[in-house]
Amino acid sequence: MARAACWVAGVLVAVFLLAPIFAIVPLSFSAGSFLFYPLPGLSLRWYRDFFGSDFWLPAVWNSLGIGLASAALATLLGTPAAFGLWRMKGRFRAVAMGIVLAPMVVPVIVVAVALLLAFGPIGLVATHAGMVIAHAALGAPFVVVTVLASLEAFDPVQLRAASACGAGPLRAFFRVCLPQIAPGVAAGAVFAFATSLDEVVVALFIAGPAQRTLPRQMFAGLNDTISLTTTAAAAMLVLLSVVLLAVVGWLQGRKKAGGG
């Protein structure tokens, strides 16, 4: 009895979670130009509009470019840092961990306004470099946390074995440790990329006209009357998120298979 009530409530909550997304995606295939059902017919005109637009198309390249560059930077900095934190103990580790995780908890509006103020005098506002740096700072904690989690399954005795066999610490890391934690590193990179892809507040404050990303343009599009091209953009971001979710799922499956 209680279990049945639980199922009813649970399914209703699942519907609540999915309904808005499933409501917006079909609208983007509408042949008409209004935002409700029933659709007057199906067409790809809003997607043609999207890919032919000076408003949206540059934003796609900006989002992908800034996302990839910031994910690469975050992974390059975050992976060795996670390895270092894993070997560390005591107070220094706690302080370092606090700094590394801070971008996850500090409200992003504070980061955005602070960066606007700091980047202004050094000419990083309205540049791609500024956006990449800001997004890398926001994405790095996700890399560190993910890599640390995959290091939990790594037996440090292997490093001692490697050094007994004559491998230096660098060689031991690259030949013994990195191959085993690679799925975790890749998952961290995907998390960092997704962070950049989702991020809108920093983009609102420090991006110039040449750096406008997809979420930033969506925000602008939502402030006006919402066009169906905006729903096409939303549908494409949904697709991208599903792909990223699938990639992370696949990587985590690999980690489980390889980590045993």
What DSSP string describes 52-75? T-TTTHHHHHHHHHHHHHHHHHHH
175 closest CA partner among 193, 159, 198: 159
In angstroms, what is the minimal distance from the CB of 28 to another protein? Answer: 10
* Residue closer to another protein, measured from CB, 4 or 257: 4
Sign of the four-CA dihedral 185, 187, 190, 196: negative
* Residue closer to another protein, measured from CB, 105 or 257: 105
* Residue closer to another protein, measured from CB, 113 or 182: 113
Q: Which residue has the tokens 């370092």?
A: 96
In angstroms, what is the minimal distance from the CB of 60 to another protein? Answer: 14
Amino acid at 90: G
Instruction: Report helix, strand or coil for 43.
Output: coil
In angstroms, what is the minimal distance from the CB of 141 to another protein? Answer: 9
Beta-carbon neighbour count of residue 27 at 10 Å?
A: 21
In angstroms, what is the minimal distance from the CB of 68 to another protein? Answer: 17
In angstroms, what is the minimal distance from the CB of 249 to another protein? Answer: 9
* Residue closer to another protein, measured from CB, 182 or 219: 219
* Residue closer to another protein, measured from CB, 24 or 182: 24
What burial class does residue 68 get, using C-beta atoms within 10 Å of its C-beta: 0-12 exposed, 13-18 middle, 19+ buried? middle
Asked whether the beta carbons of 143 and 75 are under 8 A apart, the reply is: yes
User: DSSP character for 154?
Assistant: S
* Residue closer to another protein, measured from CB, 57 or 104: 104
Residues 6+ apart with CB under 8 A from 205: 112, 113, 115, 116
In angstroms, what is the minimal distance from the CB of 61 to another protein? Answer: 17
